[in-house]
Amino acid sequence: MRNVVKKLNRIIILFLAISSFIYSQNNRLKNVGTTAASFLEVEVGSRAIGMGGAFVAVANDVSALYWNPAGIARLSRGEVIFEQIDWLVDISFNHFGVVVPMGHLGSLGAFLTSVNIPRMKVRTVEYPDGTGEYFNASDLSFGLSYAKNLTDRFSIGFNAKYISERIWHEKATSFAFDIGTLYNTGIGSLTIGAAITNFGPSMKLDGSDLIIYHDIAPLIDGNNDRIMGKLITDSWPLPLNMQFGISFNIIDTEASRLTMAMDAFHPINNTESINMGFEWSVFDILFLRGGAKAIGQGDSEEGLTIGGGLKYRLFGQSFIKIDYAYSDFGRLESVQRFTLFLQF
């Protein structure tokens, strides 16, 4: 078994190294704003956001479904997460996730993310104040997760997800995979995490609004001036991203725990950046967090984050936890979010 694990570790390390090389070549172009399904980059969980988004190597609650699916293998009990955010420019962001541990068989998870944009007027050059019609847009992603502890130190996890984007009568769909690993080094509480997210085929809009009528021979009298045709849209890649992180506990007693974490992000559609953060836990009931996001990223509006949480026993061994996070977005002002966790 140990030989199998060693070989698997080497394969994963080689895979991550190759992916890093590919990303470094792509990032020379700095393809900012050239990917589809950008809602996949809206991060999940007030706890992780409060820590500055440095969560790839922490990943020890149900929000690991987003950050690093390997983390759900280390959950000893089932967990549920629900989050509703008033995102930037009145966009509504909703996320639901659940994890069910199955002992030595591993852990199963499922998640659903939806984004809704308010109705807007249809405007044209001829009717700049509106044609009397309205349109809206929405995004959707749902998927399944599986993770397993291959040893007492090494975990691996996978996500498979369906992705859909719609604007008025046009729609684009795709699917993607995430892979993540967690490794406890045995040096105190030092943990290393890595994940590759949103690996899948490109997306392309299609729908009835792309159908047009065209006169292919305008200089010839009496020809059919309403030949049906269709506009062709470009394909755009998914926001592929590689993440690598470390975490460790500076203080770890029954009364208090202070966790520090740092993540490095290497996306296909932006420059590299670093997230850093901390979480201070008091009796595993009260939590205070802080961090900094997108350090070193070009033209980023993100900055400092703060947050906190309160954990309360419901009945028996079940717990409910409410987390809060505040994120500074510079000229885009700020985003505040609340996240509900249920442990059963």
Encoding tokens for residue 296?
Answer: 């070193």
- The confidence score (pLDDT) of residue 217 equals 81
What's the mean per-residue pLDDT of the chain?
89
Encoding tokens for residue 273?
Answer: 């950046």
Domain shared by 77 and 160, yes or no: yes
Domain shared by 229 and 165, yes or no: no
User: Where does the pLDDT of residue 1 fall: very low under 50, low under 70, confident under 90, or very high at 90 and above?
Assistant: low
pLDDT surpasses 80 at 222 = no
User: Where does the pLDDT of residue 29 fall: very low under 50, low under 70, confident under 90, or very high at 90 and above?
Assistant: very low
Phi, psi of 123 (to 5 degrees): -120, 140
Phi, psi of 261 (to 5 degrees): -145, 150
User: Where does the pLDDT of residue 9 fall: very low under 50, low under 70, confident under 90, or very high at 90 and above?
Assistant: low
Q: What is the pTM of this model?
A: 0.86
DSSP state of 318: -
Q: Per residue in 257-291, is it b (16+ CB within 10 Å) or e — as a string?
A: bebbbbbbbbbbbbbbbbbbbbbbbeeeeebebbb
The helix (H) or strand (E) run that includes residue 320 is strand 319-328
* CA distances to 17, 247, 286 from 255, in Å: 40, 20, 11
Across the range 156-184, mean pLDDT stands at 96
- The confidence score (pLDDT) of residue 33 equals 73
User: Where does the pLDDT of residue 249 fall: very low under 50, low under 70, confident under 90, or very high at 90 and above?
Assistant: very high
First to last CA, the chain: 32
Q: What is the percent of the chain with per-residue pLDDT over 90, rounded to a whole number?
A: 66
**CB distance 242 to 196 below 8 Å:** yes
Domain shared by 169 and 224, yes or no: no
Domain shared by 195 and 211, yes or no: no
Domain shared by 84 and 232, yes or no: no
Using CA of residue 51, residue 54, residue 58, residue 64, what is the dihedral sign?
positive
Q: Which of 2-6, 212-216, 234-238 has the highest mean pLDDT?
A: 234-238
- The confidence score (pLDDT) of residue 11 equals 46
- The confidence score (pLDDT) of residue 325 equals 97
User: Where does the pLDDT of residue 202 fall: very low under 50, low under 70, confident under 90, or very high at 90 and above?
Assistant: very high
- The confidence score (pLDDT) of residue 227 equals 85
Across the range 24-31, mean pLDDT stands at 50
Choice between 227 and 65, residue whose per-residue pLDDT is larger: 65
3-class DSSP state of 305? strand
pLDDT surpasses 90 at 52 = yes
Residue type, 206: D
* CA distances to 9, 107, 164, 184 from 57, in Å: 17, 18, 29, 9
* CA distances to 76, 141, 241 from 108, in Å: 12, 17, 23
- The confidence score (pLDDT) of residue 187 equals 93
DSSP state of 303: -
3-class DSSP state of 20? helix
The domain total for the chain is 2
Domain shared by 216 and 258, yes or no: no
Choice between 225 and 80, residue whose per-residue pLDDT is larger: 80
**CB distance 157 to 12 below 8 Å:** no
Domain shared by 70 and 218, yes or no: no
Other residues' Cβ atoms within 10 Å of the Cβ of residue 155: 28
- The confidence score (pLDDT) of residue 30 equals 58
Domain that holds residue 215: 205-236
Please give the Cα distance from 94 to 72 (Å, whole number).
21
Across the range 235-252, mean pLDDT stands at 95
* CA distances to 39, 82, 90, 95, 167 from 118, in Å: 15, 21, 7, 18, 11
Find the CATH number of the domain harbouring 107.
2.40.160.40
Domain shared by 227 and 264, yes or no: no
* CA distances to 8, 56, 120, 222, 289 from 307, in Å: 37, 18, 34, 70, 5
For 83-122, the pLDDT digits (tens) are 999 888 788 999 999 999 999 999 999 999 999 988 888 9
- The confidence score (pLDDT) of residue 6 equals 55
Domain shared by 231 and 243, yes or no: no
Please give the Cα distance from 292 to 51 (Å, whole number).
8
User: Between vectors from CA 92 to CA 59 and to CA 176, what angle results, nearest 5°?
Assistant: 50
Tokens 């979480």 found at: 279
**CB distance 61 to 98 below 8 Å:** no
Domain shared by 194 and 92, yes or no: yes
Residue type, 332: L
Instruction: Give the helix ranges, DSSP H, for the chain.
Output: 2-27, 46-50, 64-67
Domain shared by 88 and 220, yes or no: no
pLDDT surpasses 80 at 59 = yes
Domain shared by 270 and 333, yes or no: yes
